[in-house]
Every structure is written in structure tokens, then in C-alpha cells.
Structure 1
Amino acid sequence: MGKDVEAEFTAKDYTDPPPAPLIDAEELAKWSLYRAVIAEFIATLLFLYITVATVIGYKHQSDPNVGGADAACSGVGILGIAWAFGGMIFILVYCTAGISGGHINPAVTFGLFLARKVSLIRALLYMIAQCLGAICGVGLVKSFQKAYYNRYGGGANELSSGYSKGTGLAAEIIGTFVLVYTVFSATDPKRNARDSHVPVLAPLPIGFAVFMVHLATIPITGTGINPARSFGAAVIYNEDKAWDHQWIFWVGPFIGAAIAAAYYQYVLRASAGKPLGSYRSG
């Protein structure tokens, strides 16, 4: 009886899947790769269209020159903008996770690449698709809201007055760390192992992380934590103030993603050396 229990226990133990190859040229001949790239493009397009349209709509509704003295109480407010970003990530990750993994963010792709979850070729194609999708999504907003788009800043990220570049960079690093850390935690296959007691719908905590980070950093940088989001808005708006600190919205997220990948893989998961072969302590 004791042997049967021991055998069952061992069978349910968890083994990490092998890391993705650094360069997998064979992927280029597979339709699944291009289907995933298309999914990332469309998802990022929809993400930017909905979220930037929400930002422009709120700024118009709360404009005192348009709505009068009570205009400040009109529209969705910062809370609504944060919900728009977090809610769309929840929806789009849910829809695309089974096809592309639902990255929708070059920083997420970069973090997963560092953790060897995706190959270099896939990571580069994803990032290109995400940036192109962001440009097209913001382009749709501009075409549909010509009267308001430029007047209200095009939904572009910029460093708010009163904050230093260092503060803005730190906000982007920490915000992206929270997001990518959540991505690793929510998608960890260990959660399906025998000793996991945390059932989770992965898109939910990821979307909620985006929501929470927006609440904290909208007043500082408008919240980037997604280089494609910042780049797409800057390309279509194309004003100096959108480009002045664009580097913050690339350097910050990439650093935050790298720190999150290292922390999760080598501290929480102890990938460099599993203690006693047990995940219960990892």
C-alpha cells in the first residue's frame, strides 16, 4: 500500500519543460508562428484602439472649455482609464493565450525570451507585430476622432511636469516589474502540479496588474509599461513632446521585465538549483 502511494506521489510531481531554443530556424516554416504573429498584431491594434479612444474621450468630456464648470466630474476619470487598459488586457490575453501566449507587449515578450520561454526569432517577430499593431490601432483612433485627437495629446505618453526623468524611469521599471512578475506567476505551469492549491484564470491577475499599475503611474508618465503602446501613440501623434522622453518608455519596461524574469526564475523558482528536488519550498 505504501509503495502504491509513493508511486502515485512521484507520478504527479512536476518537471519543468525544456527551454525554448535560442534560435529556432525551423519555426519560420511553420504556420503556427505566423498565426501567432498575426494574433499579436490584431490584439495590440485592438488594445490601442480601445484604450487611446478612452483617453481622448475622457479628456474631451472633462474639458472645461467644452463642458462648463462641472466638466471635471464628467467622463470615466482616471479610474475608468485604468479599467480600460486592465480590462482590455484581460480580454485580449484570454482570447489569444492559446494562439500566441497573449503577450501584447514587447516588455512581456522580452521577459519571456530571457526566461527561455520563446525563441529569439519568435520574440523579434512578436515585437515587430506589436509595434505595427499599436501604430494601426492609434491610427484608427485619429481617423475616427479627427476633431479631438491632436487637441487632447493623441493619448501619447509623456513625463508629467514636476517629475524628473529618474522618477519617470523608476516608475516604468517598477510598473513593468509588477506586470511581468504577474505574468510569470499566473502562467507558471507549476500551478498544475500536485502541490499547487492556487487555481487561477491567468488573464485575470494580468489584467488586474495592469489596472493597478495605471492607478499608480498615470500621474507620473501616463503609464507606459508597454513600449508598443508608447511607440504607436508617438508615431501617430508625432509631436516633440511625445518623443522627448520616448527612451524612458523603452528602457524602463525592458529593465523591469529583465529584473522580473531573473527574480522569478532564479529566486522564486530557484531554476539555477532546485533545493532537494522539491517545488514545495521553491
Structure 2
Amino acid sequence: MPISRIAVGSPVEAGQADALKAALAEFISVLIFVFAGEGSGMAFNKLTDDGSSTPAGLVAAALAHALALFVAVSVGANISGGHVNPAVTFGAFVGGHITLVRSILYWIAQLLGSVVACLLLKFSTGGMTTSAFSLSSGVGAWNAVVFEIVMTFGLVYTVYATAVDPKKGNIGIIAPIAIGFIVGANILAGGAFDGASMNPAVSFGPAVVSWTWDNHWVYWLGPFIGSAIAAIVYEVFFIAPSTYEELPNADF
């Protein structure tokens, strides 16, 4: 069982050069991703008089996030594994592929990257609002939690299939493309209902900068549950114990 492989790690790990470099890579990757993704929504609002909630705005958001995530995962893959998402890091932790100590470093770096990206956006746009994620009319908090669970399950399952599975072979660039595509597709599916976060860091930065916390817990609970389920399902059913090995950062 993957749960038996969960490792806390040593506090010394937090000060090791490779762990700090990996955390820095996560900070930069999330900054790139959030700046492009959140910035695309702000730009669309400016060009269309707050039209980001229209069908065209949804398609633009899906495309921007898919492309930005492809780049963010690719540039971080050889250093930190290119998680770019606290939920992905949590899924890797549940599967025994990263220690709790390193996970905490990643989470701090990811959240800081999102906040800095939103601060840069607010400054460079002359004070435009970095809109926090919110629920659409008629969508309850628990409806949104289910959305986030299912969408994040799809994301983390894709990560496991293309980047974590020891049997994946040398698929190279396919993993970042697949990860970007599933996020873009999920935004098209859930963006009109709860914004389709799938990523607590993406929700955290705009919430901090705009200081809007309504239903913010949804964007943590749903992704963490979805990522844990995906990790356990893939580990139990598709990664045999005999093929398990600790993955170096270059692979994940």
C-alpha cells in the first residue's frame, strides 16, 4: 500500500542545497504559471469590458492555463519535478515519492510564487484586481468541492501515468503536454461553476492580494482529497510493489 511508504524525512533535509534549489524552482514555476494564467483573465477583462465570464473568456482561460502549465512543468521538471501545485505535491507525498519535509518546502515556495505573481500583476496593471476564485450562482460549496475532487483526480492521475509510473518509459515532453491539456480541459468543464482551480496555490495568491476569502477552503479541501484518491488508486492498481523505486527529482 502507498500509505505504508509515507516518509516524514529529516529536518536536516530542509537545509540541503538540492532541496532549496528544488523549492526555488517551484517558486519560479508557479510564478510563471500564475502570472500568465491570472494575467490572461485580467487582460481579457480589460479588452472586453469584464468579459472573462463569457464563453470566449472561458476558452481563453483554458488555453492560457494549458500553455502556461506546459511551460511551467517543463522548466521545473529537471530540478524539482515540476509539481507547480500543492495538490500534486500532496499526491506525490501520499504515494511515497517525496518526504513531508520536502513537501512543506514545496508548499511554501508554491504559495509564495503565487502571491508574488499576483502582486506583480497588480503593480504592472496599475492596480487592477486579481480576482479571487468564487462560486457561480446556484453552485453550493459542497458542489464545488466535488468538482474540485473530480478535476484534481484527473490531473494527478495524469501526472502519475505520464511522470511517476516507473513503466512510463522515455516519454519526454509528453508529460507536460498531457498535464497542460487536462488542466485546460477541466477549466472548460468546471470553469463556469467554481473557476476550476485544481491548485490551492493558484487560488491562494489572488485571495491574498484581493483579500477575498469566501469559500476559500473549497479550493484546498477538494484538490487535496482528489490528489490523494488519484495517488492511492494509481499506486494500488497500476504500480506493482516489485516495480517501486524512489524517483529522483529529474523524473518527478
Query: Does residue 1:109 correspond to 2:89, yes or no?
Result: yes
Query: Percent of pairs identical after alignment?
Result: 37
Q: Secondary structure at the match of 1:101?
A: coil
Query: Which of 115, 132, 139 is the aligned partner of 1:135?
Result: 115
Q: Conserved in 1, the CA contact under 8 Å of 2:90 and 2:103? A: yes
Distance 2:143 2:125 in 1: 32
Distance 1:124 1:39 in 2: 14
Q: Which residue of 1 aligns with 2:191?
A: 218
Distance 1:191 1:50 in 2: 30
Query: Does residue 1:155 correspond to 2:131, yes or no?
Result: yes
Matched residue type, 2:174: L
Q: Which residue of 1 aligns with 2:72?
A: 92
Point out where structure 2 has 5 or more consecutive residues left out of the alignment. 244-252
Distance 1:206 1:270 in 2: 23
**1:193-249 deviation line (CA, Å, top 9, x unaligned):** 9xxxx78621111111111111111101111110011011100011xxx31100000
Deviation, 1:63, is 1.6
Q: Which residue of 1 aligns with 2:169?
A: 192
Deviation, 1:22, is 2.9
Runs of 4 or more consecutive aligned structure 1 residues displaced over 3 Å after TM superposition: none
Aligned residues: 237
Query: Which of 206, 215, 218 is the aligned partner of 1:245?
Result: 215
Query: Does residue 1:229 correspond to 2:199, yes or no?
Result: no
Task: Please provide the CA RMSD for this pair.
Answer: 2.3
Point out where structure 1 has 5 or more consecutive residues left out of the alignment. 1-18, 65-70, 275-282
Distance 2:101 2:85 in 1: 16
Q: Conserved in 2, the CA contact under 8 Å of 1:45 and 1:134? A: yes
TM-score (norm 1): 0.78
Query: Does residue 1:261 correspond to 2:231, yes or no?
Result: yes
Matched residue type, 1:189: P
Alignment of 1:13-162 (within 5 A): 21-63=7-49, 77-147=57-127, 149-150=128-129, 154-162=130-138
Q: Which residue of 2 aligns with 1:13?
A: none
Q: Conserved in 2, the CA contact under 8 Å of 1:191 and 1:199? A: no
TM-score (norm 2): 0.87
